[in-house]
């Protein structure tokens, strides 16, 4: 993969991919974390909606027609640390796709009618957000676990904060954070790099703005960004919920680079997949849950290790007791961490990554996010990954698998 930084600070990532299609992802360090105290919660997400409502050169209908004609697939997403726009098209249409994206991003006109329409849609999205019981369980857990962190509220905000979002606030957020030095573009294509370079330079090279210091980079806000989670068990009853959802979170922001590199292997052994210790004990041996697993969010402003499962009301205490038992055994025993097993897990992780990267759009998204986060904990460095030893897993597990916040969501 090639990387080039333009004079205005814009970063271009490129990988040659044979074939008839090209994929592009454009990302910004402009997620919900940047809202701070200056913007209503949900502003970053609202901007993602509004940016396609019109430009100085196109109205919304023109944009939608062109998106539909150029791209076989296109979408956008706002997360806590970033916002991305991405799509896949025939390589012969890549020029048109880049021109359209540049018009949307550089020439957004923010029409008042479009703003009002999209805010109504966002309110509907908020209602549907809560219909996902696992998502609702996580939202409640974050809200109960933190008093100050941005993640205590959903990415799209709450009903009160959404009502306080203004068109002027969206414009201010756009002008502050949608700037070249805050942007990464990744393209996978059979078109040569020189062609891609000229294409991006033609449409984004003249983009000259100055990025202000990000809210999340401020030292005075570091304690808010990674506020320690409130330990304990939180229980909430929601009418209509079938069964019980349980989620744990552990703080991992204090892990250093070497420790964080152990996390993918640790996660695979502990709770990811049908061969994990957690799945074997909870599902296979005791039949306490149909769905159970662990995952990690090692992105800026989040940095949490999670355990999720669904069970029945009569099995809540037993399920939690079993999870806690698996955690304690995992922290202090190397029985399941033989070197050969670690190699198998690393190979499994790499295989899953390769399968995901076969889709050029997934490759683009992944690399834009890594570049925006300026962090890489992947296992891409050949034999170095095989230097992870059993005691490394024990050490890392012992360092963060303590004092969890636990949310129980029941009917």
Distance between CA atoms of residues 146 and 229, nearest Å: 6
How do 244-251 and 405-410 pair as beta strands?
Answer: antiparallel
Cα three-residue angle 392-345-347, rounded to 5 degrees:
120
Mean pLDDT of 126-140: 86
DSSP 88-105: EEEGGGHHHHHHHHHHHH
Note the pLDDT of residue 314: 93
Note the pLDDT of residue 273: 86
Three-class DSSP labels, 335-400: CCCCHHHHHHHHHHHHHHHHHHHCCHHHHHHHHHHHHHHCCCCCCCCHHHHHHCCHHHHHHHHHHH
Note the pLDDT of residue 215: 44
- CA-to-CA separations, 385 to 69, 88, 242, 305, 342, in angstroms, rounded: 44, 32, 42, 21, 10
80-102 per-position pLDDT tens digit: 999 999 999 999 999 999 999 99
Which one has a higher pLDDT value, 162 or 258? Answer: 162
Which one has a higher pLDDT value, 186 or 375? Answer: 186
Under the banding of pLDDT at 50, 70 and 90, the label for residue 356 is low
Q: Does the domain formed by 228-410 have CATH 3.20.20.70?
A: no
Residue with tokens 């899953």: 352
Distance between CA atoms of residues 186 and 320, nearest Å: 43
319-355 per-position pLDDT tens digit: 999 999 999 989 887 655 566 667 777 777 777 766 7
Note the pLDDT of residue 216: 44
41-56 per-position pLDDT tens digit: 999 999 999 999 999 9
Task: Supply φ then ψ for residue 287, to 5 degrees.
Answer: 60, 40
Decide if pLDDT at 58 tops 80. yes
- CA-to-CA separations, 165 to 55, 120, 191, in angstroms, rounded: 21, 12, 42
Note the pLDDT of residue 275: 87
Note the pLDDT of residue 130: 73
DSSP code at position 283: I
With both helix axes pointing from N to C terminus, report the angle between 390-400 and 316-332 in degrees, rounded to the nearest 10: 130
Decide if pLDDT at 267 tops 50. yes
User: In this predicted structure, which of 152-166, 173-187, 348-362 has the lowest mean pLDDT?
Assistant: 348-362
Distance between CA atoms of residues 186 and 181, nearest Å: 15
Decide if pLDDT at 233 tops 50. yes
Residue 293 DSSP SS3: strand
Decide if pLDDT at 159 tops 80. yes
**Domains of the chain by residue range:** 2-210, 228-410
Question: Identical fold at 2-210 and 228-410?
Answer: yes
Note the pLDDT of residue 383: 44
CATH superfamily membership of 2-210: Metalloenzyme, LuxS/M16 peptidase-like (3.30.830.10)
């Amino acid at each position: 993969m090639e990387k080039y930084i333009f004079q205005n600070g814009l970063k271009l990532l490129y990988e040659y991919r044979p074939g008839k299609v090209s994929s592009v992802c454009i990302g910004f360090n402009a997620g919900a974390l940047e809202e701070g105290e200056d913007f209503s919660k949900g502003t970053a997400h609202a901007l993602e909606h509004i940016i396609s409502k019109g430009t100085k050169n196109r109205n919304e209908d023109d944009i939608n027609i062109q998106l539909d004609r150029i791209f076989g697939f296109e979408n956008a997403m706002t997360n806590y640390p970033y916002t991305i726009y991405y799509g896949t098209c025939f390589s012969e249409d890549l020029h048109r796709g880049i021109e359209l994206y540049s018009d949307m991003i550089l020439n957004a006109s923010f029409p008042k009618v479009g703003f009002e329409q999209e805010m109504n849609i966002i309110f509907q999205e908020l209602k549907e957000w809560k219909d996902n019981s696992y998502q609702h369980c996580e939202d409640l857990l974050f809200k109960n676990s933190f008093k100050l962190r941005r993640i205590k509220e959903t990415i799209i905000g709450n009903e009160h904060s959404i009502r306080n979002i203004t068109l002027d606030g969206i414009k201010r957020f756009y002008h502050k954070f949608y700037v070249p030095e805050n942007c990464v573009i990744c393209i996978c294509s059979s078109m040569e790099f020189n062609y891609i370079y000229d294409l991006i330079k033609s449409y984004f090279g003249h983009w000259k703005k100055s990025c202000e210091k990000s809210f999340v980079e401020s030292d005075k806000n570091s304690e808010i960004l990674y506020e320690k989670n409130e330990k304990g068990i939180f229980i909430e009853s929601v009418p209509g919920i079938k069964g019980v959802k349980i989620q744990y979170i552990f703080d991992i922001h204090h892990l250093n680079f070497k420790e964080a590199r152990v996390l993918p292997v640790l996660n695979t052994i502990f709770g990811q997949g049908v061969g994990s210790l957690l799945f074997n004990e909870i599902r296979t041996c005791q039949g306490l849950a149909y769905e159970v697993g662990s995952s990690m969010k090692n992105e800026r402003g989040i940095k949490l290790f999670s355990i999720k499962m669904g069970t029945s009301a009569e099995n809540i205490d037993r399920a939690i007791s079993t999870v806690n038992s698996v955690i304690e055994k995992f922290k202090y025993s190397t029985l399941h961490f033989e070197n050969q097993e670690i190699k198998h897990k690393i190979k499994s992780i790499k295989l899953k990554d390769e399968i995901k990267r076969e889709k050029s759009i997934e490759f683009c998204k992944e690399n834009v996010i890594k570049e925006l986060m300026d962090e890489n904990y992947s296992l891409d460095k050949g034999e170095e990954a095989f230097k992870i030893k059993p005691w490394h897993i024990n050490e890392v597990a012992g360092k963060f698998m303590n004092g969890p916040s636990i949310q129980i969501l029941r009917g």
